[in-house]
Structures are given as structure tokens and as C-alpha cells.
């Protein structure tokens, strides 16, 4: 079958559920549309737990492959994005458990490194916004994991309280409480710099997105995918 040619404008007009339906009908090339929409969210979710770029990329790829393999199990009881985020979280938590099982107890070396970064930004950083984003990332990573995941989904990915609760198997009130505590801890560390730079944390550059898309499409057997922007 000849690969479909989908413009970015056309793909933006399709809902997640419409894309899923067309993939189920055989237009598997459209899986790239979903990946482009949610690569950043899945990476941020994984990164908030694992605190490692390479491992987070691996988890995102595994999550996409699992989602594709089990796409027929998506029943529409929740949003597709919620279903997908839960898959990524399960993959992330499983990876974190395996890592804790085998890694040596290196005490507080990572915490010391983060606090050093938090207190003394790299003087060679070219742009002040990148410098501040780096500090913010370190501050987020220093949060307890239960607060960190809530903060990333609510503040970085702008999920509602209800969807965040559904993704994390929490009550809405627990999400609100953890978010409040996370904000308090961050304000204590960063003051007024948190607000305007939050969206820059864990920036998902085009090269990383392209790398994950290419790798996942290869793993699920899709070749020669074309996703063109408007002329």
C-alpha cells in the first residue's frame, strides 16, 4: 500500500480518536501524527521520574511501541492522551523499579550535584533563559517524586486536575495538595523566576523528537512516512 501523504494542516484538523480510527483501518502511517503531538508530554513524564535524558528517550520509545501494539485495546472510556500517558507512566515506573533494584546506593551524590547546579548556574551558559531553565529543571528534579510527577503534568503539560488524577491514579484533592506543596518548595528555591520560565523546562527539541519518531516507526514496521508542512 502506498504511504499516505498527510500535511501538518490536515493532521491538526483530526482529533486523536479520528487518527486512532484511521490507523485501525490500516492507515498506520498516521501513527506519526500522534507521536508528534505527544512526544514532548511522554518525555517530560518519563524525565520527571528517571531524571536521565537517554533513559527517558528509551522509555518513550517503548511506550509508543506498546501503545501501537495494544491500540485495539483503547476503548475510548478516557481521552486517548490519558490512556497514552498512563502507558508511559507504567513503563517509567517499571524502569525506575529495575534501576533501583540493581544500582548501587550512591547516597546523595546526585542530590549534591543538583544542589550545586541550583546554587551556582553554569557561568558559560550563553543565554540567560537557558541558564534559568537549567536551574528550574534542577529544582524540579529535587522535588519528591510524588510531587514532581504532579507538577510536570499540571504545570508543564497543562493537564487538568481531573486528567492528572486519572493518569496517576490519585484523587483530585491529592493532586491539588501535591501541586500546592510542589509550588511552595519551588518558590522557596527560585522565588519569582519559576512562573515565566516553567514552560521552558525539559525542552523537547526537534532533533530529539525526530529521532524518537524514526526509531519507533522502524520498530513497528512503518517506512517511508511522509508528513509535510503546508507550502
> What is the distance in angstroms between the CA of the first residue and the CA of the last residue of the chain?
25
135 vs 131: CA distance, rounded Å: 6
CB atoms within 10 A of CB 186: 22
Percentage of residues of the chain with pLDDT beyond 70: 72
The 10s digit of each residue's pLDDT in 163-212 is: 999 999 999 999 999 999 999 988 887 764 545 556 666 666 678 888 89
Residue 223, pLDDT > 90, answer no
129 vs 133: CA distance, rounded Å: 6
**pLDDT for position 205:** 66
The 10s digit of each residue's pLDDT in 84-123 is: 999 999 999 998 888 877 664 454 444 444 334 434 444 4
Residue 1, pLDDT > 50, answer no
Which tops the pLDDT comparison, 156 or 133?
A: 156
The helix or strand, by DSSP H or E, that contains position 6, with its residue range, turns out to be: strand 5-7
The 10s digit of each residue's pLDDT in 21-35 is: 999 999 999 999 999
Count Cβ neighbours within 10 Å for each residue of 122-141 and write b for 16 or more, e otherwise. Answer: eeeeeeeeebbbbbbbbbbb
**pLDDT for position 191:** 61
Rg of the chain, C-alpha, whole Å: 19
Domain boundaries, the chain: 5-228
Residue 12 — very low, low, confident or very high, per pLDDT cuts 50/70/90? confident
The helix or strand, by DSSP H or E, that contains position 5, with its residue range, turns out to be: strand 5-7
**pLDDT for position 9:** 61
Fold for the domain defined by 5-228: Rna Polymerase Sigma Factor; Chain: A (1.10.1740)
DSSP state of 28: G
Side-chain half-sphere CA neighbours of 231 within 13 A: 0
| C-beta separation of 136 from 190 below 8 A | yes
Amino acid at each position: 500500500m502506498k504511504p499516505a501523504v498527510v500535511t501538518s494542516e490536515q493532521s491538526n484538523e483530526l482529533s486523536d480518536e479520528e487518527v486512532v480510527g484511521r490507523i485501525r483501518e490500516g492507515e498506520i502511517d498516521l501513527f506519526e501524527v500522534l507521536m508528534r503531538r505527544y512526544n514532548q508530554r511522554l518525555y517530560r513524564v518519563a524525565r520527571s521520574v528517571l531524571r536521565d535524558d537517554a533513559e527517558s528517550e528509551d522509555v518513550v520509545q517503548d511506550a509508543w511501541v506498546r501503545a501501537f501494539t495494544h491500540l485495539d485495546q483503547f476503548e475510548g472510556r478516557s481521552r486517548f492522551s490519558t490512556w497514552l500517558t498512563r502507558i508511559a507512566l507504567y513503563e517509567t515506573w517499571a524502569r525506575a523499579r529495575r534501576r533501583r533494584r540493581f544500582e548501587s546506593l550512591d547516597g546523595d551524590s546526585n542530590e549534591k550535584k543538583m544542589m550545586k547546579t541550583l546554587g551556582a548556574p553554569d557561568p558559560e551558559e550563553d543565554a540567560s533563559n537557558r541558564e534559568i531553565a537549567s536551574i528550574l529543571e534542577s529544582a524540579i528534579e529535587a522535588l519528591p517524586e510524588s510531587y514532581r510527577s504532579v507538577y510536570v503534568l499540571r504545570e508543564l503539560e497543562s493537564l487538568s486536575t481531573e486528567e492528572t488524577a486519572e493518569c496517576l491514579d490519585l484523587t483530585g484533592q491529592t493532586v491539588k495538595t501535591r501541586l500546592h506543596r510542589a509550588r511552595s518548595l519551588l518558590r522557596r528555591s527560585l522565588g519569582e523566576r519559576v512562573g515565566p520560565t516553567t514552560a521552558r523546562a525539559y525542552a523537547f527539541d526537534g532533533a530529539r523528537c525526530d529521532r524518537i519518531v524514526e526509531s519507533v516507526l522502524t520498530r513497528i514496521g512503518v517506512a517511508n512516512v511522509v508528513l509535510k508542512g503546508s507550502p
